[in-house]
Amino acid sequence: MTTYAVGDIQGCYSTLRKLLDSVEFDEHKDKLWVAGDLVNRGPESLQTLRYLKQLGKRCKAVLGNHDLHLLAIAAGAREPKRGDTITDILKAKDREELLDWLRHRPLVHLSEKKGYLMVHAGVPPIWDEKKILKRAAELEEVIQGPDSDHFFHNMYGNEPNYWSKDLEGIERQRMIANYFTRMRFCNAKGVLELSQKGNTPPRGYAPWYLHKHKREGNLTIIFGHWAALNGQVFREGYEALDTGCVWGGKLTLMRLKDMKRFSVSPDE
């Protein structure tokens, strides 16, 4: 049994299957971790969801911002944006089964045995592992519960941009969601800067993974979301797997036991 982690698929199902075939992925024995953004912008979001769902317990996927966007549209909170490619899911006969499966994915996946923590965008430097898991579970309960529509109708926005234990309600929920699914730059106190999407940090900010973190132990953080990094962070303990497949780059898979990477492009 081999465990692999893959970056943002974003509906690039055919490329995913080529990549899995290249490593002779065994659906009955091997496991696949997915670092969020399973859907959207690519041409085969419906096929992607169906495939990952049918893997059952052999698939460990976390929610990304595009996944939350799909759930918000399904809840009637937003209309699809220009460039969204999720209409096939919304019209599918198995729509409700797929959306329910997606809604029950976690925001963070931890394997202490393997020494990895996977999240879509990142984890704030101000939280240790205990708080990371606690905050994730807090928002997961909302997303999976009877008040999920209220969250999705109020999910979008860049404020508040800093964490306080006094945050309540939707502001608290939005802050947690933005940390785990949208963060790129922050300062040492966890204040977010969400407008910049490239590699150059705004003054006073740095990539979230470059700050001194309160985390303990030797966990390696696997994340996606940031295609501009092209999978390179140059810091031990952090593995970026979004290499921009949907933007003309490649889809990247990492074998956890030795961190060896495998990549294919859509036109290969």
Query: What is the per-residue pLDDT for 92?
Result: 98
Q: Which of these, 118, 111, 129, 97, lies nearest to 222 by C-alpha position? A: 118
**Mean pLDDT, range 59-84, rounded to an integer:** 96
**Mean pLDDT, range 31-41, rounded to an integer:** 98
Overall fold of domain 3-264: Purple Acid Phosphatase; chain A, domain 2 (3.60.21)
Please state whether the predicted TM-score (pTM) of the whole model is above 0.95. yes
Res. 148: pLDDT tops 90: yes
Residues in the chain: 268
Selected residue with higher pLDDT from 96 and 216: 96
Contact 153, 77 (CB under 8 A): yes
CB atoms within 10 A of CB 136: 23
Res. 142: pLDDT tops 70: yes
pLDDT digits (tens, 9 = 90+) for 47-64: 999 999 999 999 999 999
Query: What is the per-residue pLDDT for 8?
Result: 98
**Mean pLDDT, range 130-138, rounded to an integer:** 97
